[in-house]
A and B are shown apart, each in its own frame.
Chain A
Amino acid sequence: MPDTIDDDDGWAVRAVSAADAPALVRGADVLGSGGGGDARPAGLLFAHAVGAGAVQLLDPDGATDHAVSFVGMVGAASAFTEELPGGGEFARALRAVERWTGARATALASLEAAGLNGLTALATAVSCALPVVDVDLCGRALPRLEQFSLAVVDGALPPLALALPGGHVLVVEGGDGPRCERVVRAVLAAEGGWAAMATAPVRRADWARVGPVRTTRRCLELGARLEALGASVSNDDVTAALGARLLGAGRVVEVARRAGAGFGRGSACVRDQRTSALLRLEMENEYLVAFEDGAPVATTPDLLVVLERRTARVVACDRIRRGDDVVVLQLPAAAFWGHPEHAAQVAPRAFGLDVDPVLALQPAGSPW
């Protein structure tokens, strides 16, 4: 156990229990930016695993001496939901990479603390009896391994272990981000569609330079504020609760999907009820760019969040349908992506959209 840091905001060491699951799920859905998979199954998984206990969530500033293994689900979230995990996959992947590298993990963290992976690391931490460090590799949902912050910072990924739902285990070592991505995608396409992944334990003196920090805390806070709003809320309330910028609100007038070279592509058009402006959301696994009347008004790596107007529930890219009554919001990305040397991998052009980034400013002193 590391020394508890004397911090009176209660976030130095936070015990996350089953009671936090609803807020975590809603927050993780918001940070998914339309992707990352539905967090609810993972929420059930975590609540079931943790029972009456709790998982320690460590603030990264006080956890610099931990060897952290990043765990999470890779592949198709729909496949994950259809073929639910037996429960041991994540631990199996962790044990495999530990055996391969000969290093023990002293703490876990999430690959991407958004969408369903917003809770997988917490659930795994229960079975492995490890604390979770509040640092991750995305700060939102991102589709490709080469976009993980470790790949962006180091130019390569640490050794990875994949535990497939069929029971096989695979270790991938060496190669840069894009190579790993190709290998992992090929395996997933051939076998099951999803896998539990764990990276070799990583030890860093400054977690803030390695990855987006406090994303789980952001999930918890945003989720709690949404939960507090209750049902039937106004656009302005939701916008204020999330600290977001309102891009538009109205009916979805068209959703067009098309197959692409990699992931499927699509666009959803929302007609703003008040101004009649046409808001086009260009999407891959996540909402990537919002165009208002043809001009880009918000882009990745900022979070583009579509909420059902009546319930303030997130409408994911694969769920959005013509006729939905939605609110479209822009939330600032994690500060990590604001650094110019980090931004290229997650800018619109990294997704093949020839548009300059249009980003909202993270308020000064923001913890994430």
Chain B
Amino acid sequence: MTGLGGLLALPAWRGTAVLAGEPGGVSLRTVVLLDAPDQLGASGAREALVVLAGPSWRSAPAWQLDALLRRAADAGARAVLLAGTDPLPGPTRLLCTRLELCVLGGEAALLDLATAAAVHLAAPEVASARAVLDVSRAVADGRVSGPGPLVALCARLLGAPVALADASGSVLHGDLALVVPRPAEPVVQRDRTAAGAVTARPVLLPGLRSVQRWLVARVPADSGPVAVGAAEDLLCAASTAVAGWLAAERTAVERDARGRAALLTDVLRLTGEPSPELRQRAAAAGWPLAGWHVGVRVRTGGATDVAGLRAEALRRSAEAGLQLVLAEHGDGWSGWWSTDRSPSAVEVRHLAERFRRLHEGLRQLTGCATGVGRPHQGPAGVARTLSEAADAALLAAGRPEQGRFLHVDQLGVAQTLLAWTRTETFEPAARSLLEPLLADPSLVQTLGVYLDAESSLSETATTLGIHRNTVAQRVARIERLLEVSLGDHEQRLALQLACRAVGPGGPGGPGGSGGRT
């Protein structure tokens, strides 16, 4: 009870009369003692009881009291206390009704009344501060060592249900009936329900944008706005403790991820038999090196919390029907599936389906691109299939039309190579290589046909329907412009690829066919 009604019921306030306005429903936050009207700032008295402690306002001209009441109301005051219980002039009473300001006259010393009011108004805040302190002490002293007991302590201190939920809002500890109003918005939330006011606070870790956990409490409907504020304060204190535990867990996760990344690097370097030491480390990590392996590479981009999502990735692969070894990279995961015998073509196709399902699951989460390698045998096979998967994943990133999922089996080697020339990184390089020729499209065309025709002038002339001498002239001009010799086989190779990328059929060119596999 922190309304004006509560103050009027105080024993110290006996004899205080309402001189103007309606005391019912007036809520108060603080008490402001006023000697002179200029002390009131623009909002210095929000939800305050202003006590006119200065010279007697009773003997001042009516306009001065009016002006003061107006300033108090403008500053946010809800009530004014002045000395004496004599009635106010009629217009001043009208003004108070208009300003929604309640004026009280006190018989007792104003300072005593103000003190009693201040103590009364501060009581709920003191109680709330005590609860916050209890939580902090319990955590600091180690009496509460985990989220479960913390939630129980908060519930006991608040006398209301409290819960800890994960990022999606499903309850991990505490009252299962509590719901996070809008789990997608990482801000403190308030929601009014029939059962009471629900308040939810996100637990965040520095450096990670996503919400880690939610702390939720429901304050019964009849306990008022102050109780909601107290609950929010308490959840705030509890959230720092939860964040601390999460950070500790996180450190362990990162340490494991680093260990796996180091082991993966060593496995990928394998060309022959692994050393006994590597074998031991792989066995300790539960990584099968013997048998046949099919690798997968998931590229997510650097912003994804790869270590934090590992458990989720494993869960989704289990859902897709895959038992995978999974290791973290800076921008995603590498994983492989192992079997004792050489998988048949049908099995590989089924497997690819499952990998695609895994990819679909992860893609909703991270927007990733995924590549799958071919089956290879033995410890060195792990490295080979993962390397194929990595190439496929790189290509997949440029293929939205295939859902950014590629299986190396679908690609001939020549196609893989050609596909490389269609990537976003190769095309600008090709363009800069052919830059001197781009002003004249016929030169690029001639160069492409000439190289395809194994450097035969007459065949080029036939293909293009021009004279042989024209071709010879153009080739000479091309060599001059590019400052290369077309007799050099390496230059020839580079230029031929570049012509594929830039010429007709290449990206940006007419009739570009990014969809070829």
Contact = CB atoms under 8 A, between A and B. Distances in A.
Contacts of A280: 62-63, 66, 91
B94 interface: yes
Interface of B: 61-64, 66-71, 73-74, 89-91, 94-95, 98-99
Contact of B98 (A276, A291, A296): A276
Q: Rank and list the top 3 A-B pairs by shortest CB-CB distance, nearest first.
A: A294-B70, A269-B91, A294-B66
A341 B99 CA distance: 38
Contacts of B94: 253, 269, 271, 278
B429 to A, nearest CB: 72
Contacts of B64: 354
Interface string A57-101: 000000000000000000000000000000000000000000000
A276 B70 CA distance: 15
Contact of B61 (A265, A278, A295): A265
A291 B89 contact: no
A253 B99 contact: no
B510 to A, nearest CB: 70
A125 B322 CA distance: 117
Chain A interface helix/strand/loop/mixed:
strand
Interface string A273-307: 00011101010000001010111100000000000
A232 B69 CA distance: 38
Interface string A320-359: 0000000000000000000000000000000001110000
B89 A294 contact: no
B90 A294 contact: no
B63 A278 contact: no
B67 A256 contact: no
Contacts of A353: 63
B61 A294 contact: no
A295 B91 contact: no
B63 A282 contact: yes
Contacts of B91: 253-254, 269, 278, 280
A267 interface: yes
Contacts of B98: 276-278, 293
14 contacts: A256-B62, A256-B89, A265-B61, A267-B62, A267-B63, A269-B94, A280-B66, A289-B63, A291-B70, A293-B70, A294-B95, A295-B74, A353-B63, A355-B67
B260 to A, nearest CB: 72
A282 B61 contact: yes
B90 to A, nearest CB: 5
B42 to A, nearest CB: 14
A355 B64 CA distance: 10
Contacts of A295: 67, 70, 74
A254 to B, nearest CB: 5
Given A254-B89, A291-B66, A294-B68, 6 more contacts: A256-B62, A256-B89, A280-B91, A293-B70, A294-B66, A294-B95
Given A256-B89, A278-B91, A278-B95, A296 B67 contact: yes
Contacts of A278: 66, 91, 94-95, 98
A106 B69 CA distance: 56
A235 to B, nearest CB: 21
B69 to A, nearest CB: 6
B64 to A, nearest CB: 8
B76 to A, nearest CB: 15
Given A256-B62, A282-B61, A293 B95 contact: yes
